[in-house]
Amino acid sequence: MPILSGKVAIVTGAGSGMGREETLLLAREGAKLVATDINEAAVKAVVEEVKAAGGEAAAFAHNVVSEEDWSRVVALAVETYGKIDVLVNNAGISLAVGLLDTTMEQWNKVLAINLTSNFLGMKYVIPHMQKNKSGSIINISSIAGLTGSNGAGAYTASKGGNRMLSKAAAVDFGKDNIRVNSVHPGFIETPMSSDLIKNEQMLQWFLSQTALPRVGRASEVAQAVLFLASDASSYITGVELPVDGGVTAK
């Protein structure tokens, strides 16, 4: 039997990259998916992939920094599927700008999308998980949330905040049997990073940082998310799981 059979999962940023892979994998493992993205056409295409493979999913346009949108999406998820078992706060952006060159507009945007959105997701999903005395929340952070990242102060701050917000929620809601963990991808090939990885000089730099001799795949991040979403990780909460080919082992 699929390991997520009977579970309902929300995945944000599901229209491409890691979010797409997470959505497809969780659906293959039996979950009913609520897939959201700011790009409605992209997330609808992913949901069509799920349905074509025999899965069940619904697509919603979703601005993750909007409290009104979060209220709407969560209400629609419960109305459509009756409950929420898993939340994957995947939506995020990167910003390779040094601290002194970062504008207030850039700072606020990165913090809003990478951190505030996770707070809002948990705020609206956790009450439904409390009713069922069960739930798993996975916040997608970054290796930049574990170590300092050169030339990306706002991004690093947002991902570090994501990590600690996950720990705080794990402590607060463990009594309700709600688990909260963060996943920390390293150098992963996605549409957002593909141009960098195609640059031979950048690729060699990435490889110089890893222990394994390659960059990662979005599907490998999805496998970590699947593990944390499933009952296989039933006694794991408040941890940060690097999926980084050994970058943080160095």
User: Do the domain assignments include residue 1?
Assistant: no
For residue 2, being part of any structural domain is answered with: no
State the total domains in the chain: 1
Return the CATH number at 60. 3.40.50.720
- For residue 153, give its domain range: 8-242
Per-residue confidence (pLDDT) for residue 199, from 0 to 100: 86
Kindly state whether residue 3 falls inside one of the protein's structural domains: no
Active site members: 155
Residue among 16, 15, 25 at smallest CA distance from 7:
25
pLDDT of residue 27: 98
Q: What is the pLDDT of residues 91-147, one digit of tens each?
A: 999 999 999 999 999 999 999 999 999 999 999 999 999 999 999 999 999 999 999
In a domain, 248, yes or no: no
Q: What's the CA gap between 25 and 105, in Å, rounded?
A: 35
Within-domain flag for 61: yes
Encode pLDDT of 132-184 as tens digits: 999 999 999 999 999 988 889 999 999 999 999 999 999 999 999 999 999 99
What mean pLDDT is reported for the chain?
96
